[in-house]
Amino acid sequence: MKPDLNTALMFCAQEIGTLFLPLLEKEYDQSRLGSWGGLMLLSSLQIDGAADNLNKQNNLMMEWLKRSKKSIQAKNLIKKIEECESFKPPNIKISTLDHFNQKLRQIFVEAQEDLEGSRDLEHLKESWIVLREMHGHRKISHMLDLLQSAD
C-alpha cells in the first residue's frame, strides 16, 4: 500500500512550517508561505471525504426534489427533476459529482422559489433541513482554530 495523498499533503504542510518558513527573511514572504502551509494542512484533512460529501449532498437534494415534485407548479421544472432522477453518473470522480451537484443546486433554487410562490411551508421547511445538512457536509469553518494555530 502506497502512502495516501492526504498523508503526503500533511507532511508537506508540516515541512513548510518547520523547515522552509524559518529560512525566509521577509515578513510578507513568511506570512504568505505560512498561510499556504495552513491551507494545505486543511486540504489534507478534507481530501479523503470530498467525494463522499458531494455524494451525500447530491442524494439529499435528489430525495427532497422527488418528495417535493408533486407540489411544484412549473412543468419545465418537473421535467428537469425527472431528468436528474434518471441520470446515472458515469464515475465517482470529484469533478463528475461536483458537476451533478451544481446542476442539482440550480434546480433546488428554482424549486424553492416555486414553493415560496405557493407558500408550501411543509416542503420549504424540509428544504432548509436539507440545506443545513448539506452545509454540514461541506463547511470547513470549524477548522478555523486549526488554521490559526498553524500560523
Q: Which stretch binds another protein (CB under 8 A): 9-17, 72-80, 84-92, 128-136?
A: 128-136
Torsion sign, CA atoms 59, 61, 62, 64: positive
Of the candidates 10, 21, 24, 124, which one interacts with another protein according to CB under 8 A?
Answer: 124
Of the candidates 8, 39, 74, 92, which one interacts with another protein according to CB under 8 A?
Answer: 39
Q: CB of 87 within 8 A of CB of 46?
A: no
Closest CA to 30 of 39, 20, 40: 20
Using DSSP's 3-state secondary structure scheme, residue 86 falls into coil
Nine cell digits for residue 144: 478555523
Which residue lies nearer to another protein by CB, 7 or 31?
Answer: 31
Which residue lies nearer to another protein by CB, 2 or 119?
Answer: 119
Integer CA distances (angstroms), 24 to 15, 16, 17, 113, in order: 14, 11, 11, 52
**8-state DSSP, 17:** I
Q: Which stretch binds another protein (CB under 8 A): 16-24, 66-74, 75-83, 143-151?
A: 143-151
Which residue lies nearer to another protein by CB, 47 or 147?
Answer: 147
Q: What does the binding site for another protein look like in residue numbers (CB under 8 A)? A: 26-28, 31-32, 35-36, 39, 42, 102, 105-106, 108-109, 112-113, 116, 121, 124-125, 128, 131-132, 135, 138-141, 143-144, 147-148
